[in-house]
């Protein structure tokens, strides 16, 4: 399995570095038959272009791996926190034979593939959930790095990129506010994925722990107001509620967002359960609460309404396959709605600026 992964990675790399530029060149020539000058990247010498593209490939791969490592840690959190165990001390162990995992076996994604999903000592299966969380969190970190960081925050409403897009700019002149926003947003997606899968555990994730996480993010927003991307009083600026001061406005943003998230989560859980007869999962309200705290009340309204629409559209398909899923546990059934919510939140993040403009939040 590991060998197949390595070979596919090499193929993707060669395609990105050698084949894709040629395809781009052909497409450009077809679209602009009269232009004599090429875009800078296509104009570059072959060696320079290969080097730049290799750096880009490494950059993206690094962000995937960074996310997968966070996912690996969140796996530990999802498993140990509901059990009331510490997450700071004690390395990872096999849940069956208590053997400590070595550094190589504990490597995100590769460790699981290398062991082919079985413990090295007792050969009992390690749940694919671990691998899936690491991949999902890795993909979330990678996608946000590409779409939010490399594009200079072009997806954020009210954000001016100041021409600081591109990989080279980020490395040579790091835009710290944007990097901080990226870390908070990517971290939020990681926790959403962790909570969605923590539904399958024996005990629910304690509300108190999540409130602590949300409080940490809230104080970060107040200490560093650049993290407050959308002001809480939009689009109702004219009402005269503004002008609370540089610290008080982010504080209001956190307060209104958390309250709105909790309330919308609570109301929508009834809509989903009674209206659609769907299994919600026990962390739904907490997930909405977290989105409200981090992204603001406007985003949590948009994301919940959008996922309601998407879920209504997908419901016939879900009904068609649900007899086949009848042997699934309740916890696994809730994954459908949770995946719908997280993917909608990611699409919202991708087109956040356009959506805010469309809905009059600018």
| Interatomic CA distance for residues 155 and 210, integer angstroms | 27
Phi, psi (5° rounding) for residue 125? -70, 140
Q: If phi over 0 gives left and psi between -120 and 50 gives alpha, with beta otherwise, what is residue 169? A: alpha
Nearer to Zn ion, 105 or 228 (CB): 105
Token look-up 């406007």 returns 298
Nearer to Zn ion, 72 or 344 (CB): 72
Phi, psi (5° rounding) for residue 254? -65, -45
Q: Please state the closest distance from residue 61 (CB atom) to Zn ion, in A.
A: 30
Nearer to Zn ion, 124 or 314 (CB): 124
Q: Please state the closest distance from residue 123 (CB atom) to Zn ion, in A.
A: 7
218 touches Zn ion (CB under 5 A): no
| Interatomic CA distance for residues 8 and 161, integer angstroms | 35
Q: How far is CA 59 from CA 6, 36, 80, 164, 331, in A?
A: 17, 32, 32, 17, 36
Q: Please state the closest distance from residue 139 (CB atom) to Zn ion, in A.
A: 28
Number of chain positions touching Zn ion (CB under 5 A) = 6
| Binding characters for Zn ion, 64-103, by CB under 5 A (x = yes) | ------------------------------x-xx------
Q: Please state the closest distance from residue 132 (CB atom) to Zn ion, in A.
A: 20
Task: Say if residues 199 and 82 touch (Cβ distance below 8 Å).
Answer: no
Q: Please state the closest distance from residue 124 (CB atom) to Zn ion, in A.
A: 5
Binders in 163-192 for Zn ion, by CB under 5 A: none
Q: Please state the closest distance from residue 101 (CB atom) to Zn ion, in A.
A: 9
122 touches Zn ion (CB under 5 A): yes
Token look-up 């080097």 returns 51
| Interatomic CA distance for residues 178 and 185, integer angstroms | 10
Residues ≥6 apart with Cβ < 8 Å to 138: 64, 65, 66, 67, 68, 71, 108, 109
Candidate ranges 42-50, 120-128, 137-145, 310-318; the one touching Zn ion (CB under 5 A): 120-128
119 touches Zn ion (CB under 5 A): yes
Candidate ranges 111-119, 230-238, 321-329, 348-356; the one touching Zn ion (CB under 5 A): 111-119
125 touches Zn ion (CB under 5 A): no
Interface ranges with Zn ion (CB under 5 A): 94, 96-97, 119, 121-122
């Amino acid at each position: 399995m590991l060998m197949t992964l390595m070979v596919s990675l090499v193929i993707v790399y060669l395609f990105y570095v050698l084949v894709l530029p040629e395809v781009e060149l052909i497409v450009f020539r077809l679209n602009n038959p009269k232009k004599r000058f090429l875009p800078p990247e296509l104009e570059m010498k072959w060696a320079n272009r290969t080097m730049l593209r290799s750096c880009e490939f490494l950059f993206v791969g690094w962000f995937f791996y960074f996310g997968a490592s966070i996912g690996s840690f969140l796996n530990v959190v999802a498993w140990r926190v509901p059990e009331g165990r510490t997450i700071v001390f004690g390395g990872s162990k096999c849940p069956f034979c208590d053997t400590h995992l070595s550094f190589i076996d504990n490597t995100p994604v590769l460790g699981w593939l290398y062991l082919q999903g079985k413990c090295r000592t007792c050969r009992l299966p390690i749940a694919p959930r671990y691998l899936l969380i690491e991949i999902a969190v890795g993909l979330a970190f990678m996608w946000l790095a590409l779409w939010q960081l490399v594009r200079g925050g072009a997806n954020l409403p009210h954000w001016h990129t100041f021409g600081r897009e591109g990989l080279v700019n980020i490395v040579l002149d790091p835009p710290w506010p944007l990097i901080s926003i990226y870390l908070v947003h990517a971290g939020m997606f990681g926790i959403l994925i962790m909570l969605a899968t923590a539904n399958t555990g024996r005990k629910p994730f304690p509300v108190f722990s999540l409130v602590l996480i949300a409080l940490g993010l809230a104080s970060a927003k107040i200490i560093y107001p650049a993290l407050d991307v959308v002001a809480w009083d939009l689009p109702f600026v004219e009402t005269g509620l503004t002008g609370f001061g540089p610290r008080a406005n982010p504080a209001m943003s956190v307060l209104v967002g958390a309250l709105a998230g909790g309330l919308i989560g609570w109301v929508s859980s009834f809509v989903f359960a009674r209206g659609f007869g769907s299994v919600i999962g026990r962390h739904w309200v907490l997930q909405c609460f977290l989105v409200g705290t981090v992204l603001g009340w406007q985003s949590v309204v948009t994301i919940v309404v959008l996922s309601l629409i998407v879920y209504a559209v997908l419901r016939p398909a879900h009904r068609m396959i649900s007899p086949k899923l009848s042997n699934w546990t309740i916890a696994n059934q809730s994954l459908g709605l949770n995946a719908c919510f997280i993917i909608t939140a990611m699409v919202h993040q991708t087109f956040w600026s356009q959506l805010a403009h469309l809905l009059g939040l600018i």
